[in-house]
Chain A
Amino acid sequence: MSLLARYRIILPAVSLAVLLAATFWMQPRAMSYFGLNLLFNLAVPIALATIAQMMIIMVNDIDLSVGAFVSLVACITATFLNDAPVLGLAMLLALIVTYAVMGAVIHALDLPAIVVTLGMSFVWGGIALFILPSPGGSSPGWLRTLMTVKPPLAPMAVVASVVIAVVTHFLVIRSGLGTVLRGVGGNARSVQRAGWPVIRLKALAYGLAGLFGVLAGMALVGLTTSADANIALRYTLLSIAGVILGGGEFTGGKVSPTGAVIGALTLTLASSFLSFLRLSPDWQIGAQGAILILVLTARLVFRQKRAEA
Chain B
Amino acid sequence: MTDHESAPIVALTEAAKHFGPVRALDGVSLSVAPGDCIGLVGHNGAGKSTLVNLVNGGLAPSSGEIRFDTGGTALGAGVRSVFQELSLCPNLTVAENLRISHSALKGPGWRRPARAEIRQSLDTVFPDHGIDPDAEVDTLSIAERQMVEIAIGFAPRGTEARLVILDEPTSSLDAGIAEQLLAHVRRFCAGGGAVIFISHMLGEIFDVATRIVVLKDGKVVAERPADGFTRQGLVDAMGHVTAEEGETSETARSFGAEIVRSPEGLSAREGEVVGLSGLAGHGQAAALARLYLSRTSSWHARKAPEVVFVAGDRTRDGILPLWSILRNVSISILQQGARWGLVDRAAEEATAAEWKKRIGIRTDDVTNPILSLSGGNQQKVLFARALASSAPVIIMDDPMRGVDVGTKQDVYAMIRAEAARGRTFLWYSTETEEVCQCDRVFVFRNHEISAELTGADITEERILEASFEMQEAS
Assess A253 versus B91: contact at CB under 8 Å? Given A176-B106, A180-B99, A180-B100: yes
Residues 82-122 of B contacting A (Cβ, < 8 Å): 87-92, 96-97, 99-101, 103, 105-108, 110-111
Q: How far apart sit A194 and B74, CA to CA, in the bound complex (Å)?
A: 12
With a cutoff of 8 Å between Cβ atoms, the chain B residues found around residue A254 in the complex are: 91
- Chain A contact residues, majority secondary structure: helix
Assess A194 versus B132: contact at CB under 8 Å? Given A1-B139, A182-B91: no
Q: Are B110 and A187 in contact (CB under 8 A)?
A: no
Cβ of B135 within 8 Å of any chain A Cβ, yes or no, is yes
Assess A194 versus B90: contact at CB under 8 Å? Given A1-B132, A1-B135, A176-B106: no
List the A residue with the shortest CB-CB distance to B102: A194
With a cutoff of 8 Å between Cβ atoms, the chain B residues found around residue A191 in the complex are: 89, 100
Q: How far apart sit A175 and B99, CA to CA, in the bound complex (Å)?
A: 11
Q: How far apart sit A190 and B89, CA to CA, in the bound complex (Å)?
A: 7
Q: Are A176 and B99 in contact (CB under 8 A)?
A: yes
Assess A5 versus B111: contact at CB under 8 Å? Given A179-B92, A190-B88, A254-B91: no
Q: How far apart sit A189 and B58, CA to CA, in the bound complex (Å)?
A: 12
With a cutoff of 8 Å between Cβ atoms, the chain A residues found around residue B434 in the complex are: none
Q: Are A190 and B100 in contact (CB under 8 A)?
A: yes
Cβ of A151 within 8 Å of any chain B Cβ, yes or no, is no
Residue among A175, A185, A189, A193 making CB contact with B91, cutoff 8 Å:
A185
1/0 per residue A220-250: CB within 8 Å of B? 0000000000000000000000000000000
List the B residue with the shortest CB-CB distance to A174: B111
Residues 232-285 of A contacting B (Cβ, < 8 Å): 252-254
With a cutoff of 8 Å between Cβ atoms, the chain A residues found around residue B99 in the complex are: 176, 179-180
Q: How far apart sit A194 and B99, CA to CA, in the bound complex (Å)?
A: 10
Cβ of A2 within 8 Å of any chain B Cβ, yes or no, is yes
Cβ of B75 within 8 Å of any chain A Cβ, yes or no, is yes
Q: How far apart sit A253 and B97, CA to CA, in the bound complex (Å)?
A: 13
With a cutoff of 8 Å between Cβ atoms, the chain A residues found around residue B106 in the complex are: 176
Assess A5 versus B90: contact at CB under 8 Å? Given A176-B106, A180-B99, A180-B100: no
Q: Are B110 and A5 in contact (CB under 8 A)?
A: no
Q: How far apart sit A193 and B100, CA to CA, in the bound complex (Å)?
A: 10
Cβ of A195 within 8 Å of any chain B Cβ, yes or no, is yes
With a cutoff of 8 Å between Cβ atoms, the chain B residues found around residue A179 in the complex are: 92, 96, 99-100
Most chain B CB within a 10 A radius of its CB, from A175, A190, A196: A190
By the criterion of a CB under 8 Å from any partner CB, how many residues of chain A are at the interface?
24
Cβ of B136 within 8 Å of any chain A Cβ, yes or no, is yes
> Smallest distance from the beta carbon of B8 to chain A beta carbons, Å?
24
Cβ of A4 within 8 Å of any chain B Cβ, yes or no, is yes
> Smallest distance from the beta carbon of A291 to chain B beta carbons, Å?
26
Q: Are B111 and A183 in contact (CB under 8 A)?
A: no
Q: How far apart sit A189 and B100, CA to CA, in the bound complex (Å)?
A: 11
By the criterion of a CB under 8 Å from any partner CB, how many residues of chain B are at the interface?
25
Q: Are B91 and A194 in contact (CB under 8 A)?
A: no
Residue among A2, A182, A193 making CB contact with B87, cutoff 8 Å:
A193
1/0 per residue A178-214: CB within 8 Å of B? 0110110111011101111000000000000000000
With a cutoff of 8 Å between Cβ atoms, the chain B residues found around residue A176 in the complex are: 99, 105-107, 110
Q: How far apart sit A1 and B137, CA to CA, in the bound complex (Å)?
A: 12
List the A residue with the shortest CB-CB distance to B101: A194
List the A residue with the shortest CB-CB distance to B58: A193
> Smallest distance from the beta carbon of B188 to chain A beta carbons, Å?
22
Cβ of B134 within 8 Å of any chain A Cβ, yes or no, is yes
Q: How far apart sit A174 and B58, CA to CA, in the bound complex (Å)?
A: 31
1/0 per residue A1-12: CB within 8 Å of B? 110110000000
With a cutoff of 8 Å between Cβ atoms, the chain B residues found around residue A189 in the complex are: 87
List the B residue with the shortest CB-CB distance to A7: B139
Most chain A CB within a 10 A radius of its CB, from B75, B87, B100, B110: B100
- Residues of B with Cβ closer than 8 Å to A? 58, 75, 87-92, 96-97, 99-101, 103, 105-108, 110-111, 132, 134-136, 139
25 contacts between A and B (CB under 8 A): A1-B132, A1-B139, A4-B139, A5-B134, A5-B135, A5-B136, A179-B96, A179-B99, A182-B89, A182-B92, A183-B96, A186-B89, A186-B91, A186-B92, A187-B88, A190-B87, A191-B100, A193-B58, A194-B100, A194-B103, A195-B75, A195-B103, A252-B91, A253-B89, A253-B92
A183-B100, A187-B87, A187-B90 known; 18 new pairs, CB 8 Å cut-off, are A1-B135, A2-B132, A2-B135, A174-B111, A176-B105, A176-B106, A179-B96, A182-B92, A183-B89, A186-B91, A187-B88, A187-B89, A190-B89, A191-B89, A193-B87, A195-B101, A195-B103, A254-B91
9 A-B pairs closest in CB distance: A186-B89, A186-B91, A194-B101, A183-B89, A187-B89, A190-B87, A253-B91, A179-B96, A254-B91
- Residues of A with Cβ closer than 8 Å to B? 1-2, 4-5, 174-176, 179-180, 182-183, 185-187, 189-191, 193-196, 252-254
